[in-house]
Amino acid sequence: MGGEELIGSLWKEAHEKAATFRRDAEGEAEALKTVLSARFEAIRTEFTGHPDSGGETGKILLEAETRARKVRLTSVEGLSSRLYSLAVSCLPYLREEGYDIVFSSLARELPPLEWQLVRVNPADEERAGKLFPYAEIIKDPGMSGGMEVEARGGGLRVINTFEKRLEKSWPRLLPGLLADIDRTVLTDGTPEKV
């Protein structure tokens, strides 16, 4: 037998062995599927007392999906509440840089009236006195920044505080925050990977 014939014979034998191996593997996979199906059905029968007629599995899956949605909704509500509290706790940091300009801008947004009462953070008393020279200034330590003003004997009131602006913006901010959390934490599994 020459070299070419030997190589051809070896190739032919290798192809035949590969085909046999493939057929055997497919047969084993099919047999394994059958065994696993039978075991799955036996387990289902053991736990439910009867074989699945097709509808039972669907009901179980639907119930599981419903429970999962409820758990997720509860988690999202809790997370939303925590995020909002965190955002409120960060509002004082908005005072750190350029706050004089921010305070003046918030005052300019008010209608041009003779404001009688101005409620501000205690650190803003002097600023408010300059912008509202005829108004009574009330210090409110619960206010992070901005002002709450009254005119016409309390008949007209405008709240232009950091807290109120966050409250009004929250419905627009929250979906983006939750989407970011989904992308970074929930998808990766842990906050450490962020």
Tell me the per-residue pLDDT of 15-35, one tens digit each, with 9 for 90 and over.
565 556 666 666 777 777 777
Residue with tokens 């057929």: 23
Task: Break the chain into its structural domains and give their ranges.
Answer: 1-50, 52-194
Tell me the per-residue pLDDT of 41-91, one tens digit each, with 9 for 90 and over.
777 777 766 655 556 667 777 777 787 777 777 888 888 889 999 999 999
Cα–Cα distance, 5 to 16 (Å, whole number): 16
Give me the CATH code for the 52-194 domain, please: 3.30.2320.30
CB-based contacts of 9: which residues, under 8 Å, 6+ apart? 1
Average predicted confidence (pLDDT) for the chain: 82
Cα–Cα distance, 37 to 31 (Å, whole number): 10
Residue 187 confidence (pLDDT) above 70: no
pTM, two decimals, is 0.62
Phi and psi at 191, nearest 5°, equal -70, -20
Residue 9 confidence (pLDDT) above 80: no
CB 56 within 8 A of CB 40: no
The number of beta carbons lying within 10 Å of the beta carbon of residue 83 is: 16
> In DSSP terms, which residues pair with 147 in a beta bridge?
160
Tell me the per-residue pLDDT of 105-144, one tens digit each, with 9 for 90 and over.
999 999 999 999 999 999 999 999 999 999 999 999 999 9
Cα–Cα distance, 146 to 109 (Å, whole number): 11
